[in-house]
Amino acid sequence: NAGVTQTPKFRILKIGQSMTLQCAQDMNHNYMYWYRQDPGMGLKLIYYSVGAGITDKGEVPNGYNVSRSTTEDFPLRLELAAPSQTSVYFCASSYPSGQTGFANTGELFFGEGSRLTVL
Amino acid sequence: GESVGLHLPTLSVQEGDNSIINCAYSNSASDYFIWYKQESGKGPQFIIDIRSNMDKRQGQRVTVLLNKTVKHLSLQIAATQPGDSAVYFCAEEQAWAAGNKLTFGGGTRVLVKP
């Protein structure tokens, strides 16, 4: 399994441009997430999805959109890039609690990250 | 608002010594806690987890301790190795209907000195 794959790894955008960060997982996980990580900070949840066709806002959703047409893919869209969106973006996936047979199943599997700079 | 935070931003440890990373949480409704390790340029990786009905859980060279009375979580790494140099995050799971939504703390950087 490749796990969680994110593309691109690096991108520079001009203010006002749009782009989509791609995320794919091959572990048949129902749950998927997008986090952003600012320098020296922890991760903040942008959007999440509990299954195909279902998405919901996290802590910092403004300026972003997501879609979940398949179990495998969870793209993150930036419509009008702003300098405040300069960050490292991480996609993650997980099983719903209780499906793996273990007592604690909250483990998130993260991608390698996508570093976005908006100038 | 309720949050998860860390006491020490940077921890320097001599190779072979034990490391202790601390974390404070404020949401008494959280019932699940996880420690992640993030190496430079990579995504976070799961280390160990613990439920609120437990005080201690051990893994390979790592132990997580949970003190619900003072809302404190710690990660102990035995015989710290150069490969343990990374940023460590604690995270708590907020109780909600669906999804494993985690709230992350700010992170502690561990530097292992040879």
The string of pLDDT tens digits covering residues A28-77 is 888 899 999 988 788 999 999 988 999 999 989 999 999 999 999 999 99
Residue A96: per-residue pLDDT: 64
Which pLDDT does position A75 carry in this prediction? 98
Model confidence at A118, in pLDDT bands (50, 70, 90)?
Answer: very high
Cross-chain residue pair B44–A44, CB shorter than 8 Å: no
Using CA coordinates, name the residue in chain B closest to A31.
B99
From chain B, pick out residues whose CB is under 8 angstroms from the CB of A94: 100
Residue B81: other Cβ atoms inside 10 A:
13
Structural domain boundaries enclosing A89: 4-118
Q: Do B44 and A58 touch (CB under 8 A)?
A: no
What's A85's domain CATH number?
Answer: 2.60.40.10
Query: How many structural domains is chain A composed of?
Result: 1
Whole-number percent of chain A with pLDDT over 70? 91
| CA-to-CA dists, residue B98 to A31, A105, B8, B101, angstroms | 9, 13, 32, 8
The pLDDT value recorded for residue A41 is: 81
Contacting residues of A for B34, CB less than 8 Å apart: 106-107
What one-letter code names the amino acid at B12? S
The tens digit of pLDDT for each residue in B52-92 reads 889 999 999 999 999 999 999 999 999 999 999 999 999 98
Say if A55 is an interface residue toward chain B (CB within 8 Å): no
Task: List Cβ<8 Å contacts ≥24 apart for A63-69.
Answer: A64/A34, A66/A34, A68/A32
Torsion angle of the four alpha carbons B104, A73, A85, B107, in this order, in degrees rounded to the nearest 10? 20
Q: How confident is the model at residue B99 (pLDDT cuts 50, 70, 90)?
A: low
The CATH H-level superfamily of B4-113 is: Immunoglobulins (2.60.40.10)
**B102 vs A45: CB contact, 8 Å cut-off?**
yes
Burial grade of B51 (CB within 10 A; 0-12, 13-18, 19 or more):
middle
Tokens 């599997």 belong to residue = A109
